[in-house]
Amino acid sequence: MAPEDVDAAVAQAEKAFHAWRKTTYEVRAALLHKVAGLMRKKKGSLAKLITLEMGKLIAQAEAEIVLSADIIDYYADNGARFLADKPLNPQYGKAFIRYSPVGVLLGVEPWNFPFYQVARFAAPNIMVGNTVLVKHASIVPQCAVALEDLFKEAGAPAGVYTNLLISGKRATALVADERIKGVALTGSEEAGASIAAQAGKYLKKSVLELGGNDAFIVLEDADIDKAVEWAVVGRINNNGECCVAVKRIIAVESIADEFLEKFKNKLANLKVGDPMAPETDLGPLSSEEAVVQLADQVKRSVDAGAKVLLGGKRLDRPGAFMAPTILTDLKPGMAAYHEELFGPVASFYRVKDEQAAIKLANDSNFGLGGSVFTRDIERGKRIADQIDTGMVFINHPTWTQADLPFGGTKRSGYGRELSELGIEEFVNKKLIRISELTDPF
Minimal distance, residue 211 CB to ligand NAP, in Å:
3
Catalytic annotation on 209? yes
Minimal distance, residue 124 CB to ligand NAP, in Å:
14
Minimum CB distance to ligand NAP smaller for 186 or for 374: 186
Rg, Å, the chain Cα set: 23
User: How many degrees, rounded to 5, is the angle at CA 198 between CA 192 and CA 200?
Assistant: 95
Nearby residues of 208 by Cβ (< 8 Å), 6 or more positions away: 184, 185, 186, 192, 195, 196, 413, 414, 415
- The region of 81-89, 109-117, 324-332, 428-436 touching ligand NAP under the rule CB under 6 A is 109-117
Subset of 417-436 contacting ligand NAP (CB under 6 A): none
Contact between residue 263 and residue 231 where contact means Cβ atoms under 8 Å apart: yes
* Other residues' Cβ atoms within 10 Å of the Cβ of residue 368: 29
Binding ligand NAP (rule: CB under 6 A), the pick from 17, 20, 75, 111 is 111
Closest CA to 372 of 386, 388, 392: 392
Subset of 151-170 contacting ligand NAP (CB under 6 A): 167-169
Minimum CB distance to ligand NAP smaller for 46 or for 171: 171
Under rule CB under 6 A, residue 100 binds ligand NAP: no
Q: Which of 64, 109, 209, 354 is catalytic?
A: 209
Under rule CB under 6 A, residue 10 binds ligand NAP: no
Catalytic annotation on 53? no
Binding ligand NAP (rule: CB under 6 A), the pick from 51, 60, 194, 371 is 194
Minimal distance, residue 214 CB to ligand NAP, in Å:
10
What x/- string results for residues 362 through 381 when contact with ligand NAP is judged by CB under 6 A?
------x-------------
Subset of 286-345 contacting ligand NAP (CB under 6 A): 340, 342
Q: HSE, CB side, 13 Å, CA atoms: give it for residue 353.
A: 1
Under rule CB under 6 A, residue 209 binds ligand NAP: yes
Under rule CB under 6 A, residue 62 binds ligand NAP: no
Nearby residues of 310 by Cβ (< 8 Å), 6 or more positions away: 264, 267, 268, 323, 324, 325, 326
Nearest to ligand NAP by Cβ — which residue?
Answer: 168
* Other residues' Cβ atoms within 10 Å of the Cβ of residue 125: 27
Binding ligand NAP (rule: CB under 6 A), the pick from 51, 186, 301, 419 is 186
| Site size for ligand NAP (CB under 6 A) | 32
Collapsing DSSP to helix, strand or coil, 102 comes out as coil
What x/- string results for residues 128 through 147 when contact with ligand NAP is judged by CB under 6 A?
-------xxxx---------
Distance CA(125)–CA(112), nearest Å, equals: 21
Contact between residue 126 and residue 160 where contact means Cβ atoms under 8 Å apart: yes
Contact between residue 121 and residue 200 where contact means Cβ atoms under 8 Å apart: no
Binding ligand NAP (rule: CB under 6 A), the pick from 36, 236, 243, 330 is 243
User: For 184, phi and psi rounded to 5 degrees?
Assistant: -120, 135
Distance CA(380)–CA(376), nearest Å, equals: 6
Length of the chain: 441
Contact between residue 124 and residue 422 where contact means Cβ atoms under 8 Å apart: yes
Q: Which of 14, 53, 243, 417 is catalytic?
A: 243
Catalytic annotation, residues: 209, 243
Binding residues vs ligand NAP (CB under 6 A): 108-112, 135-138, 167-169, 171-172, 186-188, 191, 194-195, 209-212, 243, 340, 342, 368, 406, 408, 412-413
